[in-house]
Amino acid sequence: MKKKTSVGLKIISINRKASFNYFFESVYEAGIVLKGSEIKSIRLGKINIADSYAIERRGEIYLMNSHIPLYKNASYSNHNPTDDRKLLLNKREINKLIGKINREGFTIIPTKIYFKKGKAKIEIAVAKGKKQYDKRQAKKNKDWQRDKARYVRKTS
């Protein structure tokens, strides 16, 4: 899913499940430490962040459970598809994130991966999980907006 939005910004992958399952409190942009075969695979648009999350380890933030498939033209220097990947953030941002995730119910979820001026960036959000009734209400609102748009389109 490659989509160009503005100059120098090319969206590679969007985590659509995240906005349905979580309330976002704040959003950050971070760089990712990648190997050569990983970046080539991402440039082909092959990455899955649907079930991934970020954790704090030794004062740094790592992306867990993301899947970047093997790059077929890489030989012996290919990467492990499910490796943990370090996120590049300022120390102040890392301290804010650690403080927020230590509160009850908050986690760090990736929302999208994109290229900005040739560099791979990831947008992460500090999020709190939705309850089942919140999800039902969101689905009801979405259906109503869709039906309302249909009615307006038919009448005009």
Is 152 a domain residue? Answer: no
Output the domain CATH number for residue 32. Answer: 2.40.280.10
Q: For residue 22, what are the contacts with CB-CB under 8 A and spacing of at least 6?
A: 107, 109, 125, 127, 128, 129, 130
Is 80 a domain residue? Answer: yes
Distance CA 127, CA 79 (A): 30
Distance CA 93, CA 29 (A): 10
Is 136 a domain residue? Answer: no
Global pTM value: 0.77
Distance CA 21, CA 1 (A): 21
Tens digit of each residue's pLDDT (9 = 90 or more) over 113-131: 999 988 889 999 998 887 8
Tens digit of each residue's pLDDT (9 = 90 or more) over 55-113: 888 989 999 988 888 888 777 778 777 788 899 999 999 998 888 888 777 899 999 99
Is 144 a domain residue? Answer: no
What percentage of the chain carries pLDDT values higher than 90?
23
When divided into structural domains, the chain yields a total of 1
Is 135 a domain residue? Answer: no
Is 68 a domain residue? Answer: yes
Query: The domain containing residue 49 runs over which residues?
Result: 3-130
Is 140 a domain residue? Answer: no
Check pLDDT > 70 for residue 30.
yes
Is 33 a domain residue? Answer: yes
